[in-house]
Amino acid sequence: MSAKQTALIMGMPITVEIVDAPDAETAIQDTFDYFRSVDDKYSTYKKVSEITRINEGLPKTKWSQEMREVLALCEQTRQQTNGYFNIEHNGKLDPSGLVKGWAIEQAAKRLRERKIEDFYIEAGGDIQVEGLNTAGELWKIGIENPFNRHEIVKVLRVSGLGVATSGTYIRGQHIYDPHSPDQTVTAVKSLTVIGPNIYEADRFATAAFAMGLKGIEFIESLPNFEGYMIHSNKTATYTSGFERFVATAHV
């Protein structure tokens, strides 16, 4: 059987679609439960979450092994992006810029372990897809027009890849250049990154957006990544291999 459901978790809609699996409904509920457990551990808005307790002084000797691993990934990403990805703000740690993509990838691994081959997971615009959709085709993912969210400017056809979009047109100005924290990123409206999985795509999309107009060049420099940047002047720039994923161009 096939099933598709959406739940509000981690402060955002999370959609899971599973194609042709006998335990599709159960697998979706298990996936939602997993995202809830991630929220309980990493949400800076929850008073009893582990990250909140760390920010309140929990000694490193009491940090969970998973938390140590995630924070190490954050530090690795900071180094790989020349400091444009940085989870430390005013002396507090907020790994949410990495955790969302990491959690989607972990959820995808759990589905693969159940021998589920065809699925779609989306959390707040970040997407991991495997196999084929219900029509037996590559999954279709639309890139929204940040100036008109009812319009899709590109339709991508992908499988076995992650697609992440960073921007300010939905949540407002929440991504900053760590090297110039007093200046907002205004030249770019959205940046979509296609990567080998959603964890990789999401973390580099966040960093590249913080780089401003230089971000698309950073994505171009990464092997096995493609990107599509929409500028504030309503023009777009994309990487050299991006077009091979495009099914339809509307504008």
pLDDT digits 0-9 by tens, 55-85:
999 999 999 999 999 999 999 999 999 999 9
Look up the CATH architecture of domain 3-249: Roll (3.10)
DSSP 3-state of 163: strand
pLDDT score of 248: 58
pLDDT score of 96: 94
The answer, yes or no, to whether residue 170 has pLDDT greater than 70, is no
Written as one letter, the residue type at 150 is H
Phi, psi of 172 (to 5 degrees): 80, -170
Q: Where are the domains of the chain?
A: 3-249
Note whether 117 and 131 are within 8 A (CB): yes
**Tens digits of residue pLDDT in 198-229:** 999 999 999 999 999 999 999 999 999 999 99
First to last CA, the chain: 37
**Tens digits of residue pLDDT in 13-22:** 999 999 999 9
pLDDT score of 172: 43
Report if pTM > 0.85.
Answer: yes
pLDDT score of 69: 98
The answer, yes or no, to whether residue 47 has pLDDT greater than 50, is yes
DSSP 3-state of 4: strand
